[in-house]
Amino acid sequence: GDSVTQMEGPVTLSEEAFLTINCTYTATGYPSLFWYVQYPGEGLQLLLKATKADDKGSNKGFEATYRKETTSFHLEKGSVQVSDSAVYFCALRGGKIIFGKGTRLHILP
Amino acid sequence: NAGVTQTPKFQVLKTGQSMTLQCAQDMNHEYMSWYRQDPGMGLRLIHYSVGAGITDQGEVPNGYNVSRSTTEDFPLRLLSAAPSQTSVYFCASSYSGASSGANVLTFGAGSRLTVL
């Protein structure tokens, strides 16, 4: 069945560092791919999405490119801020919407 | 526009008791789903529905039942609560299809359940 695998956390970086959070997936067909973010004490909200191969989703300085050849959707940001500290979830929509286990990100000032 | 409304926000049960978590959305979303969130396990799909009258199992359906008699409502029933069902439960919904907002989940605020 469909599955999403993302890198284990927590990830700790200094402010202004480059961020990559890896996400790979297994699915039949052509799923839509998503990154959601959960700030402390809040629910999940969409960060970005891509619906077909080679699409790039972007929002708030974050980017991810739908790579069908490597079945990946890695999240990147060039310069992180303390306010980016949160848990990040990779997700896919095939017949249903499923999530990875989440990656906790800590940004140090 | 209320979005996705979950009740109750908090609940304590004893082992063996049953209860229903309510979920309602007012956005005319076709797709509705229930997840549980546990530390280190991410969000795991319990059950989902692609429209009224249609439900299907997710990744961890055992011990839970759902029904979808209307587009708006998608209650989750715990038949005989167990301590392993202690978790935070989220209901979420989305449009299906090809529109730009399709498949983007709107989440409820969550329900924290403790089973003693």
pLDDT band at A91 (very low <50, low <70, confident <90, very high): very high
Contact state of B45 with A45 under an 8 Å Cβ cutoff: no
Distances (CA, A) of A70 to A28, A43, A53, A63, B76: 14, 30, 11, 17, 37
3 state SS of B84: helix
Question: Which pLDDT tens digit goes with each residue over A48-61?
Answer: 999 999 999 999 99
Which pair of structure tokens corresponds to residue B23?
């979920």
Predicted local distance difference test score (pLDDT) of residue A43: 86
Query: Does residue A94 surpass a pLDDT of 80?
Result: yes
Length, in residues, of chain A: 109
CB nearest B40 (choices: A32, A46, A101): A101
CB nearest A97 (choices: B41, B103, B109): B103
Distance CA B96, CA B8 (A): 27
- List CB contacts (< 8 A) between A94 and chain B: none
Contact state of A97 with B109 under an 8 Å Cβ cutoff: no
Chain A nearest C-alpha distance from B69 (Å): 19
Strands of A1-109 (E only): list them: 3-6, 11-14, 19-21, 23-26, 32-38, 44-50, 56-59, 62-65, 75-77, 86-93, 97-99, 103-108
pLDDT band at B1 (very low <50, low <70, confident <90, very high): low
Q: B98 or A80: whose pLDDT is higher? A: A80
Question: Which pLDDT tens digit goes with each residue over B31-72?
Answer: 999 999 998 888 999 999 999 999 999 999 999 999 999 999
**Angle, vertex CA A43, rays to CA B58 and CA A51, nearest 5:** 60
Predicted local distance difference test score (pLDDT) of residue B86: 97
